[in-house]
Amino acid sequence: MSLKEAIDAIRKGKMILLYDADDREGETDLVIPAISTTPADVARMRRDGGGLICVAIHDNVAEKLGLPFMSDVLRSVSLNGNKALRTLVEKKGDIPYDSRSSFSLWVNHRNTFTGITDNDRALTIKKIGETVHRVLNGEMIDFGGEFRSPGHVALLRAASGLLNERLGQTELSIELALRAGINPSMVVCEMLDENTGKALSKEDARKYAVKYNMPFIEGKNIL
């Protein structure tokens, strides 16, 4: 399917498949707008995807909400004397396909119970999407009043320069949201292969997309 069909699907709140690149992670993610995510979508991602279910948000929104990169949190704590964390902080060369991780905090919405069920994660994800929408409308948000950490939904903070700076699923999905004219908070989940123990191959991801009539695009289509 074409990039236009993928953007149209995203605009309608539907799920698509997004492959990053052969020379990067070489992974296909299930991608859907956070604000549209239902418990059935979470179930599909954990069943047919199997990777981490994360929410990517635009750097500008993360900045307004005060959401840091987790590496910066660990680095700050380690500077205050925690030697264990000092050895854990990612260093140059740790990630073979990139210069750094986009992980921020892990959160649960405060109205969840355990936070891990399909219903709970869908609630947290949807509320993250609503929060991004409110921030973009100029509201002042008490993020800690609505969410708690640690939790079961990982937040990913996009690079400030998006695709000019980094070509990860985080930035690719946010770029898709911007082109679709929706708020830039997108759920991403890697598709894994239980038979090989690796990422699902691009060929098998394409077959899945055809079987379920879902758009499949690559990062190079967006670039």
- Catalytic residue numbers read 29, 54, 97, 108, 152, 190
CA distance 199 to 190: 8
* DSSP bridge partners of 4: none
Give the ranges where 20-148 is alpha helix by DSSP (H): 39-44, 59-65, 70-79, 83-88, 118-136, 143-146
For 223, residues 6+ apart whose C-beta sits below 8 A from its C-beta are 163, 167
Residue 97: strand, helix, or coil: coil
CA distance 41 to 65: 26
Within 10 angstroms of residue 14's Cβ, the number of other Cβ atoms is 16
Closest CA to 58 of 192, 167, 184: 184
Closest CA to 152 of 101, 198, 116: 116
CB 34 within 8 A of CB 109: no
CA distance 74 to 80: 10
